[in-house]
Structure 1
Amino acid sequence: MKINTKLPYSILVIFFIIFLPTFVQASEAKNIIEHYSYSTEVNDLNKKTFKIHNKQHINKTLISYDNNNCNTIEQLEELAKDNILNKNTNFSIHYTGNLSDLSGSQKLPNKIMDYVIAYDNYAGYCVTNCITTYSGYDKNIDIKFDVTYLLTHDEEIWVDNKVDSIIQNIIRDSMTQDQKEKAIHDYIVANVAYDETAKKNSPYNALHDGITMCGGYTLLACKMLNKVNIKNLLVLGKVDGSSINNHIWNLVNINEKWYHLDCTWDDPVPDIPNHVCYNYYNLTDDELAKDHNWEMSKYPFAETKYNLNIINIPVKAVQLDKHHITLKIGETTSLAANVLPVDASNNSIKWKFNAEGIIYFDGKTMKGVKSGTVYINAVSDDGSFEDTCVVTVTNEIADPIDINDSTQLQEKTDVDNDKSWKIRFNKNISTTALNKDNVYILDEFNNKVDVNLRFDVSKDTLIVEPLKNYTSGKTYYLVINKKISSDSGKKMNKTIVMKFSIR
């Protein structure tokens, strides 16, 4: 890159910014770097103290840049925003405007973060540190960003997937905005505990560890409310007589009215599992201002008193969509439960059953695993109403055998539990006829046992071997269906049945 020789120097200006909740700005001088070192004390949200050391020197090094090019502040803000939304930690932007564009009463990191927050509250408040370094001259300026976040990229993906799963379980399309907000509030307050050690403060901590400070409560609520299309903002403020911003909560828009929602302060400390309060649920400005302080002019006004009674509709019953299910091993089906009335405030349902390895059931999809019967109860959180489904799992049931019309071979007793049977015919058996509909073993309940069928050395001899051991003391039946045929198409006159018992 060629340097304009008309300029006697290039300029390097570094800004450090610590975000959540306050910005710290560095002054600018054309030949001075302002080094800002800082120490951080965490109290509820973040309390920070800063020390400033000035060191004068000239810097003649230009920073290399990537393909991010722009020539206006608006384009610069957009490019930086896109990188931050993608959680890029280090990126560069080549700016072809003037150096004076980057100075002014509001420094570059502040402008960028204000722009990101205005576009996406959640993404903006997940930035914990933004360092901006730029160097060059008019029309040829390289800007380097060093950004850190509350969550790593992998943690953000984990949170997104977890939130999607939670939303599927607690939200229904038929619910009103009031009901969706309450379901989200109740889930967070019931399942998250406040971190009194002041070490955890992210939505990942809230969901993965079950413990967080107000930042985790509020950002998690923000993400979940966004998922169900409820507009909300994050409010920075002061509590407990603090002189700096040390708390954060949500401002939600329900039915075109704004309300304050503080999930953190609705969660008792010390934690009481599954206990939910509504002392800070959908408050007006006047109601919240009794113990919260914030710059009201920066946010929409919350002036309408909320009626909590509209969200307290009690559950009167639980209803399953099925009450009897019969499955074959490996077969799947679904089972769903709903509370009545459908607009009840608390629609949470717990599933109670002892699968004993008979079924797999995740609250929606069910799969038969082994023969047996399971009773599944759906129980409402509100009122403990319940409904029951009886699930029966069987092996594949064979066609009924007419014993009187079959050839009975002599019963075998004291058989080994891993016994394989060798069956010899007087003709070669058709390959297509060798299947589990024509040759199989039944247990005493007429359920098919899993077996492997194969020819021996020649096609006139079959081997039937169990895939797992028979049960000691039980009786089984080897069945050779009369439908089995030879290569020439000849079939047997009767089905052959041999009873055997395991030692």
Structure 2
Amino acid sequence: MIHVFLQLTPPLAFAEYKLMQGRGTGTFFVRHRIKLRRVYMFNRKAGVAAALTAALLFVMPFEAFAKAESASNLTELAKLVNQHGVNREESFEIKYKGDMSDIDTIIEDSDFVFFERTVEMVDDPSTHEDADYLAATMNMSDERYSVSYNEKNVVSFVIPYFETRQQAQYVNGEVPKILEELGVDQMSNYDKVKAIHDWVCNKITYVDDATNCSSMYSAVHDGKGLCNSYAICMYRLCVEAGVPCKFVGGQGGPEGSRDAAHAWNIVALGDKWYLLDATWDDGDDGISYDYFLKGSSDFDAASEGDNKHTLERAYLEDFAKEFPIATTAFKEGMNDENVTVKIGSDDYPEPDPTPTPTVTPTPTVTPTPTVTPTPTVTPTPTVTPTPVPVDTLTITPSTAEVFIGETKTLTANSPLDGATITWTSSDDSVATVKDGVVTGVSLGTATITASDGKDTATATITVKDSGIEPEYVPMYVGDKEKLTADGKIKYYEVDEEGWKKIAKIQKKGKRLVVKAKNPGIITITAYGKNDVVLGQWVVDVAEEEF
């Protein structure tokens, strides 16, 4: 272990930091609580001091060794805040060379217009973690949030987040899987929005816990969320599916009320933007479409009493000009009937009575040549496809992927009546097979062979890792943490010998309850049915430092 002593100002003081290397990962975890000013490093082996200093420079998220960042206007400031935010840095400093009244406005603004408007508009095409996603992930309601500056015009930001960097990376890996599962590639933009809206409503259970259930991670990983989670999921999935979408906020209650903070979305179809509130569409009786792709005049038509949506100041004026909201709902009357309509290029279709050309379906009368479907008698050759499989043994599917511990069922089609199929694997250490059911054992590729006594057929199986990334969990001695897995836990394993001296672990359904006993680092892996990995955590226990 390396001991690092930090000189703090003001007042002059010292604090000891611990730099620990994560087990087998090459990752360094730095436990810190106070802002760094100067660093002095001591090690009994002077010969490694230079190397240790270099390592520390790369892993510590402080600006102590770098030239202070600077911004000349609010746009430049927003870009720098965006960079720190994407990395989930909770505290950072930027020298402001513009008019300090700009910073006074940020400090005094209870509507957070700088973050919800200026920072939100910083959109780097190389990532989906900035812009609206970042602004919605910043937790300005946390008591730790602060913006201040000193006599040298250095602005200090302290910004808590609803989602850690590691949790954001988990979301990055899940979004493509969700969109592939929904099959959005072959859909019109309207159908994409509809499918995503339904997925969000089905996935999330509304939980009144702003601290732990306001992120996309809590929604995707745990299935729990508040309005913030619903809206941020709609935004992220729509944008990555190719549908323009924005995250907006305000109040969802009696007009003028500031006690009912709420979040929802606007979505673009054609040249108009439509209002959408997945939270209010997720009712106790199932999904509704009362707030699905509505216009400014009918968004709250289904609201009871004096409840209505009121946008915050950040989403008015210039924002409203840049993102003009349609007056009435998209294809009025379609939403409640839940009808899927292909829009083609998704040009904005005002309810046009021109569908009188639906009279042209009278030429579907001309399908008197539907008499010609008598030539569908000629598809008697469709009887011939049956002899095709009679010639040889086949396996479906012929290629497949499976995660370690998961199974995949293969089907053998033999031309022999009552044939007995025998199954073998080219490498049982990679994948095993029994009665056509393949189980992934370890990373690699195996060839599965089926035989009916006369012919053989093969299928190629690729075994992949579950893709679950370990979650870093810092704890102090005496702390208790609940670790939630992706399903009901059958059993768990801990890599390190003697781990029971470091922590006590109890299995409860989908959770592991960990109580920290002594300093140390352990890696816990939770398994479900068929030995599928449901979660992995690196638990780092340290003594409380005062």
| Superposition TM-score, scaled by structure 1 size | 0.49
**Pair member with larger Rg:** 1
| Superposition TM-score, scaled by structure 2 size | 0.45
Higher helix fraction: Structure 1 or Structure 2? 2
